[in-house]
Chains A and B, each alone.
Chain A
Amino acid sequence: MQKGASSNATPDTEQGISFFNDRKIRAVAYQIAALFMVGLLGYYLFSNTVANLQRQAIATGFGFLNKQASFEIGESLIHYSAADTYVRALLVGVLNTLKVAFVGIVLTVVLGTFLGIARLSTNWLVAKLAAVYIEVMQDIPILLQLFFWYSFFYDILPAPREAIEPFAGVFMSNRGLVFAVPQWHPVYTYIAAAGLAGCIGAYVLRKWARKRQERTGQIFPVFIFSLGIIIGLPFVTWLSAGAPHKMSVPQLVGFNFQGGLNMSPEFGALLLGLVLYTAAFVAEIVRAGIQAISKGQTEAAMAIGLKRGQILNLVILPQALRVIIPPLTSQMLNLTKNSSLAVAIGFPDFVSVASTTINQTGQAIEGISLIMLVYLCFSLLTSLFMNWYNKKMALIER
């Protein structure tokens, strides 16, 4: 195409063909026209907005962020009270969004993978049930599902006094889900640190084992040793602290439960809806990823004498993940974006806090820009990760 353009251009200029038919000049003209129109539209909207804001006497700028928020937020990961500033309120919102997104993504991947494998099961009943689940969940709007689960908590579940106890230590009522957790003990901090150290140790071990294998050809049983380190270190820490095992079991006091870990109906409904909905999409992705690997790959790996674990680790997974990870990431991002529907069922996520802020301050432009900015940051981070991953995993051809 480039060649054609240049060979065309030479005779044109030589014969002095009309100025308006020159490709380059036309391209510049089109672009100037497009930019001009966008600029004009922008200017029109901007001037209208400024005029309207002045007429309605709405303040502008982000000065309101440092004022006192004076509204309560139902649940928060950091300490917050109505006396705090709007910045802190919005931060609470961001953290709540991240909380839902993180827990939701972990559960979705687990459930989605399980469903995707079930969909390919040789067991007719399991495969059909998974197929029905996937089809039904994909075809019902997420907002409707959120409303359904919210009403499930509020309309169907009983009051705390008659709470349902499906497993020992777990209580379901219209105040949410309460379950027993180990009572807080200072050693848990050290256990978490030991777990982290274990992970780092396993990573270093893996690097070393690969280098050693490349040098000497000897295979080191990395998996068993890593598992030993990751589980063993926290366990030893726990034992050395005298193995604390006191549980904080929820007790019915008055009209509600005390103790244990409480999950509010709003959070429960949001999490349930997002996970059940997104898992259906993840299941389809996982199924496609598994089906994308031809049987010949497994057979070839068997033929060169790899063991089952090695086949999975060295041949199947690297190829399947290359197919699975990109759409999976976009589903994770979808889940994060869909968590903004929390505003409809009253969970204080970022959008919900921001819209309260808009209602109180009247500064809609700033509020909505903040919403868009925060979600754009999430998307940008995700796509940066995707680019890095694609580069790392891309097929290196001859």
Chain B
Amino acid sequence: MVQLPRDNNQTDRLRAPVIRIGAWQWLKSNLFNGVFNSVVTILVCIFLYKIIPPFVRWAFIDSLWLSTADQCRAGDGACWSIIPANIRFIIFGFYPYELHWRPTVAMIMLISLLFYSKNRNHWNTSLGYIWIAGLLIMGILMRGGIWGLTAVESDQWGGLPLTLMLSVFGMFAAYPLGILLALGRRSKMPAIKTLCILYIELIRGVPLISLLFMSAVLFPLFLPAGLTVNKIIRAQAAIILFTAAYIAEVVRGGLQAISRGQYEAAESLGLNYVQKMRLVVLPQALKIVIPPTVGILISAFKDTSLVVIIALYDILKTTRSVLGNPSWMGFSPEAYIFVALIYFVCCYAMSNYSRRLERELHS
């Protein structure tokens, strides 16, 4: 049966009388209601029985957690040892070994900032300043060079910090750009409108990988001789330009949903274009599109993994280079499952949060 969203506010509403009690009744009404469903249930149970016990055996019972690669090869089960044995490289890449505390602190800061921002009561101007300050400190921690911190060039950055940096900076920079593009697309000035439509449709029509290729291969050609931009920054720019086009389309949907009356009321108050958009239209439009925006952010987060193809050492690439090490070769399922878990936890948290926010905003 279709599950209705739980609404806690309306507990006082009369509920349907309870007619099913007990586990047996539950089984009967949810798994064995009708011949077809009973057959399906039994088939699914057989299928699960075939799959789950061998998997549990492989992953937990026969598995090795803290052994050497040779011990793993002798065993039958999963070799989770590949993770603890290489964890520092998988997480931090080529970042200088003795300086690993710096990205660690930066990541903890980022995560606690994200947790703090989860609460909608904290959403105000000072939160914006906290974020700007936080991102700055994180950047300084990663980069070093001042306050007695050793400088670490950005081509040594890698692993999870790089993945997080590409996605967080990508989101923060793409969001305002996307809003500007959406406003431009809704503009009445033909030249600006055409430029924005061209940009948005062009970017949305090509795969991200072609933009990444462009950033890796073409970008150096576009700059005057002697001026070089770091590879990570170039990939970051490609991700921002790509995400902005998608955010623009989502925001445009929100702008279209705001009724004409709002625009007219703002104009009749004598607000100019910037005031009208900033004070009246955008606050409403952006609120409507929070759920699809989170969807875009989730896919932007997943898409940062594509930088593997232009040989940046994000967490997927560090994992793959561990797998390229002859002694750990062949344990790819374990390693990939570990990386998948990291991505899954992040994306699931985001999508769960977006669903909760959607409920809160609707009620």
Binding site for B on A (CB under 8 A): 1, 4, 27, 30-32, 34-35, 38, 45, 48-49, 51-53, 55, 120-127, 129, 135-136, 138-144, 147-148, 151-152, 155-156, 291, 337-338, 340-341, 343-344, 351, 355, 358, 364-365, 368, 371-372, 375-376, 378-380
Contact = CB atoms under 8 A, between A and B. Distances in A.
A141 B298 CA distance: 10
Interface in B232-247: none
B225 A55 contact: yes
A123 B205 contact: no
B102 interface: no
B54 interface: no
B222 A48 contact: yes
20 contacts: A31-B189, A31-B190, A32-B191, A34-B192, A120-B2, A125-B41, A136-B344, A138-B351, A139-B343, A140-B344, A143-B306, A143-B309, A143-B316, A148-B340, A340-B207, A341-B309, A351-B209, A364-B218, A372-B210, A379-B204
B206 A358 contact: no
B44 A371 contact: no
Name the prevailing secondary structure of the A interface residues.
Answer: helix
A282 B207 CA distance: 19
B173 interface: no
Interface residues of B, number: 61
Nearest to A34: B192
Contact of B209 (A35, A144, A341, A380): A341
B305 interface: yes
B347 A371 contact: no
A142 B41 CA distance: 31
B143 interface: no
Enumerate the 7 nearest inter-chain pairs by beta-carbon distance, A residue then B residue, closest first: A379-B205, A139-B347, A151-B332, A124-B30, A31-B191, A141-B302, A337-B207
Contacts of B330: 155
B231 to A, nearest CB: 15
Given A338-B207, A344-B309, A123 B340 contact: no
Nearest to A378: B205
B354 to A, nearest CB: 12
Q: Which of B210, B218, B220, B260 has the most CB of A within 10 A?
A: B210
B305 A144 contact: yes
Contact of A376 (B202, B214, B302): B202
Given A139-B351, A147-B320, A126 B40 contact: yes
Interface string B300-341: 001101101100000010001001000000101100100110
Contacts of B192: 30-31, 34
A35 B196 CA distance: 11
B60 interface: no
Interface in B177-224: 188-192, 195, 201-202, 204-210, 213-214, 217-218, 220-224
